[in-house]
Amino acid sequence: MNEILEILSYPFVIRALISGSLISICASILGVILVLKHYSLIGHGLSEIGFASLSISSALKISPMIISVPSVIAASFLIMLTKAGDTAIAVASSAALSLGIIISSLTNSISNTSSFLFGSVLAVNEADLIFSVILSFVIIILFVIFYNRLFLITYNEDYARSLGINTAFYQIMISLLTALIVVSGMRIMGTLLISGVIILPAVSAKNLASGFKALIIISGVISILAFLTGLIISFIFNIPTGAGIILTNTIILILTRAIKTK
């Protein structure tokens, strides 16, 4: 307990705690929609595109956000709007990962992107905190306002379209918010692990609930629990933050699966 209290005395830990908690909640909300719509791998694809953009920005010696934000957003639109599902994600992620590796190898910049690859609380600055607060506020407000329409689109897109709902608009909105969550979470969770933060809580929640509202609530609780536990584990055992969070999420998934089976 004393060690935990000592950890919480550092300003950068408080920033990571607030930013990571908000990102985890919003990622869990979007994760439920993505899992139910069979876009579970979109986070993985976008994270590898994020890695490629980080490699490019490192080679050009400019801020990672300048390239990461527009490239990840553009990729998310293409993946969603092409309707190719996992095929589009596999193609985009493979191409982006290979591009990132080639650029990093040619420029010897892999060391500059290591904190983004696996996550680090040291990488979270005040600008990241402000961005995550604003983004989380926007996501939660939009989800509350459009809850009924998102529910319809998630479970029966054709029926929603027959009611006159502009499903393309909501597809674009989900794509945009998912891309921003991926970019925002890269510093803490890492580009290679952020997809797990989006998907694993939602999959765990499916083992415990069937209703949409229950899925959202349980997914959010699991996401926060996994983040806080993973953050503590990363400090105690001196491992990357993202790895600790994903490990915790994986254990929770196994436990919820066992509960469902029983």
Which pLDDT tens digit goes with each residue over 56-94? 887 787 777 788 888 888 888 777 666 655 676 777 777
Amino acid identity at 51 = F
CB 197 within 8 A of CB 189: yes
What is residue 112's predicted lDDT score, i.e. its pLDDT? 59
- Band the pLDDT of 115: cuts 50, 70, 90: low
HEC letters along 47-105 = HHHHHHHHHHHHHHCCCHHHHHHHHHHHHHHHHHHCCCCHHHHHHHHHHHHHHHHHHHH
CATH of 2-261, one of 1.20.58.760, 1.10.3720.10, 1.10.3470.10, 1.40.20.10: 1.10.3470.10
CB 27 within 8 A of CB 74: no
Residue tagged 């699991």 (tokens): 222
Residue 172 CB burial class (10 angstroms; 0-12, 13-18, ≥19)? middle
Q: Please check the confidence at residue 121 and state whether its pLDDT lies above 70.
A: no
Task: Report, in angstroms and rounded to the nearest whole number, the Rg of the chain calculated over CA atoms.
Answer: 18
CB 12 within 8 A of CB 129: no
Tokens of 163: 């009611």
Helices (H), the chain: 2-7, 11-36, 42-60, 64-81, 86-107, 114-118, 126-145, 147-155, 157-162, 167-189, 194-206, 212-236, 241-261
144 vs 127, higher pLDDT: 144
CB 232 within 8 A of CB 4: yes
Residue tagged 């997809």 (tokens): 195
Which pLDDT tens digit goes with each residue over 171-214? 888 888 888 888 888 777 877 788 888 999 999 999 998 788 89
